[in-house]
Amino acid sequence: MAIESGKMAYVVNIQFLKDNFQNKKIFITGHTGFKGSWLMACLHLAGAKIKGYSLEPDQPESLFSLLNNVINCDSVIADIRNREKLREEILSFEPDFIFHLAAQPLVRRSYEIPAETFDVNVTGTANLLEAVIGLKNACTTVVITTDKVYKNIEDHTLYKEDDTLGGYDPYSASKACTELVVDSYRNSFFNPADCNNHRKVLTSARAGNVIGGGDWNNDRIIPDIIRSLSDNKTIQIRNPSSIRPWQFVLEPLAGYLQLAVASKSPPKQFNYAYNFGPYPDDHITVKELVEIAIDKWGNGSWKDTSSCKQPHEAGLLKLDITKAINELSWKPKLNAAQAIEWTVNWYKQKSEDQMEYTFHQVNQYFS
């Protein structure tokens, strides 16, 4: 793998995945979740040795349930807050890479369980990183946070990785705290200046609003749209004018994988945070997303329910992805309309075909 002018001289494709992850030990927290399941599918095609650590899926029709029978994964069902169990599973596995996705990921739910949200997202991350300290082998850890870690003043600012962290709601604040935990462990235990001795790389990834097939979580826009369209009901939209950095799920996953590989050579350069999202001119409103989804589905309608009382959610959020483009040579492959089309196409498949279609989309994206 060559480094040229500060940029990675490769494109993430199936061969890249095999070259860098085949027979490697990959530990994934949150592997039963939406993004975790798609990540397993990518690494399965790469021939990786996967160990997952997560709670049971929230929904019976989860993507994990579709993939679990065909993906070779040592699946551990346990809580990220169980420090001793987590430490035991990590140390016994001796992973080459860790992708930390386990979280309480929902803004609206964080208003209902604020203390638990902080406990899972902040303490859970500290538990993971404390276990990594005990690893004797070299290991790269990518902690997945969110675009919502920034102190958002909602003025069309494209937030950069070194902008001020913040968080209005408990979820966003918990993820900003998670970034502080990562920074503390990086400085205290995995300092890049001493990497030759401890052989650990710790970085974080901040993705925009991720959409794709197999997401059935409550209070998420795509599952809400699909349920309404499937039942011939009018889609209820809380914030039609809100602008978000929508992206298809494989976009940030390609970034996480690319970052994990890049971080190993040289670690000092890539040992920090990276944003993954759409291009600046490709941030669209909730209304636009819904109308594209209806068009791709073939029929449907929506109505504005923003007048109903509801918890605060940011109306405007944009990411600056310059750092990932310049330093990792990562860039989005799909625009927002394509991301929505790929997502709707997944849900239009018959249930018995969705597993195969998942791998079809992975192969198509990485071709």
Other Cβ atoms within 10 Å of 125 Cβ, number: 28
Rounded to the nearest angstrom, the gap between the alpha carbon of residue 20 and the centroid of all alpha carbons in its chain is 20
Residue 77 has pLDDT above 70, yes or no: yes
Tokens standing for residue 163: 């902008």
Joined tokens for residue 129: 């990183």
> Which residues neighbour 286 within 8 Å (Cβ) at sequence distance 6 or greater?
221, 237, 238, 239, 240, 241, 242, 244
Predicted confidence (pLDDT) at residue 13 exceeds the cutoff of 50:
yes
- Mean pLDDT lowest among 5-19, 106-120, 156-170, 285-299: 5-19
- pLDDT for 9 equals 44
To the question of domain 3-210+249-281+313-336 being in CATH 3.30.470.10, the answer is: no
Q: Nearest-CA neighbor of 142 among 191, 99, 87?
A: 99
pLDDT attached to residue 269: 79
pLDDT tens digit string along 79-99? 999 999 999 999 999 999 999
User: Using alpha carbons only, how large is the chain's radius of gyration in Å?
Assistant: 19
Question: Where residue 312 falls among pLDDT bands split at 50, 70, 90?
Answer: low
Burial annotation 296-313 (CB, 10 A radius, 16+ → b, else e): bbeebebeeeeeeeeeeb
The two structure tokens encoding residue 68: 């679990």
Q: If pLDDT is split at 50, 70 and 90, which confidence band does 153 have?
A: confident
Instruction: Please give the pLDDT value at position 239.
Output: 85
pLDDT band at 315 (very low <50, low <70, confident <90, very high): low
Residue range 282-305: average pLDDT? 94
As given in the structure block, the two tokens for residue 134 are 């005990």
**Any bridge partners for residue 49, and if so which?**
25
- Angle (nearest 5°) at CA 313 between 310 and 319: 165
Q: Provide the pLDDT for residue 305.
A: 86
Residue 254: other Cβ atoms inside 10 A: 25
128-137, 235-244, 288-297 — which is least confidently predicted?
235-244
Q: Which amino acid is at 13?
A: N
CA distances from 46 to 11, 23, 42, 337, 363 (A): 15, 8, 6, 28, 11
